[in-house]
Amino acid sequence: MDTMIGVIGGSGLYEIDGLEQAQWVTVNTPWGAPSDAILTGVLGGVKMAFLPRHGRGHVHSPSTVPYRANIDALKRLGVTDVISVSACGSFREDMAPGDFVIVDQFIDRTFAREKSFFGTGCVAHVSVAHPTCPRLGDACHEAAKDAGITVHMGGTYLAMEGPQFSSVAESRMYRESWKADVIGMTNMPEAKLAREAELDYASVAMITDYDSWHPEHGTVDISDIIATLTGNADKGRALVSRLPALLGADRAPCPHHCDRALDYAILTAPDARDPALVAKLDAVAGRVLS
């Protein structure tokens, strides 16, 4: 199988030097339109796809991002490995603005989003005990170090609904009682859907602020975030540009079985499955439903 790296990120992360055969591709999915067209190309001999999570011009809020359409579109294009790059706040003094965190756990506090491709007529339960792929996370960690980025390996990401930032009370609870490391609004249900679609998924959290718990930094200020985001985008491009050499063009099966997550997940008997839902699952679950 050929490797195809899919990067879901913000504006600027698809402006990678050396991207060949670049073209914007419109992908139709049974889950609606994705956030935007997808920029495809080849970098270092490896196929790439770049999807602006909020759309070019930032038109989608965290709650309205079409997460199912985004993951389906990437799978439909042939993506094998998804790198999520997103801004976040930090709950840890040593995880400072400008640092990156390779997330390996989530606490999902979102509530206004569709979180599964499956449902009535085709029920499935996948494991997200370990919601990110260690192989892919290791590659992101190595790429970040090689790019000179201060990067932390491992961390728990608290996914909040937004679009408002946390109250001080919430921020302190997430930090002190729940022991979360970073906070963001977009990695859930993205990571869960990637697992259902049997895509390897890694989360690169780019820290922009200390949320609102830090007594010396005050509340979150969007102008400070934007200033930090600009520098983080440069670092994010540097990280992504190093991934093709680390992952290679020829992809072996995932040693952690991320690409076989549906092997025993579907519970609905074949003769009881809803044909309309099964048809919508052609890209996501075609391997086990066909």
User: pLDDT per residue over 189-210, tens digit each?
Assistant: 999 999 999 999 999 999 999 9
Rounded mean pLDDT of 147-157? 98
Indicate the pLDDT class of residue 217, thresholds 50, 70 and 90.
low
Residue 221 has pLDDT above 90, yes or no: no
pLDDT in tens, 30-82: 999 999 999 999 999 999 999 999 999 999 999 999 999 999 999 999 999 99
What is the distance between the alpha carbons of residues 135 and 251, in angstroms, rounded to a whole number?
12
* pLDDT attached to residue 235: 94
CA diameter of the chain: 61
pTM across the whole model:
0.95
| pLDDT, position 1 | 87
Q: How far apart are CA 168 and CA 18, in angstroms?
A: 44
Averaged pLDDT, 11-21: 86
Residues assigned a catalytic role: 209, 211
Task: Name the class of domain 4-289.
Answer: alpha beta
**Residue 177 burial (CB < 10 Å; 0-12/13-18/19+)?**
exposed
Counted residue by residue, the chain has a size of 290
Given a cut of 80, whether residue 227 has pLDDT beyond it is no
Q: In which band, very low, low, confident or very high, does the pLDDT at 185 lie, cut at 50, 70 and 90? A: very high
> What local confidence, expressed as pLDDT, does residue 11 receive?
67
Q: Which pLDDT belongs to residue 219?
A: 60
Which structure tokens are listed for 263? 């092997």
Any bridge partners for residue 156, and if so which?
A: 105
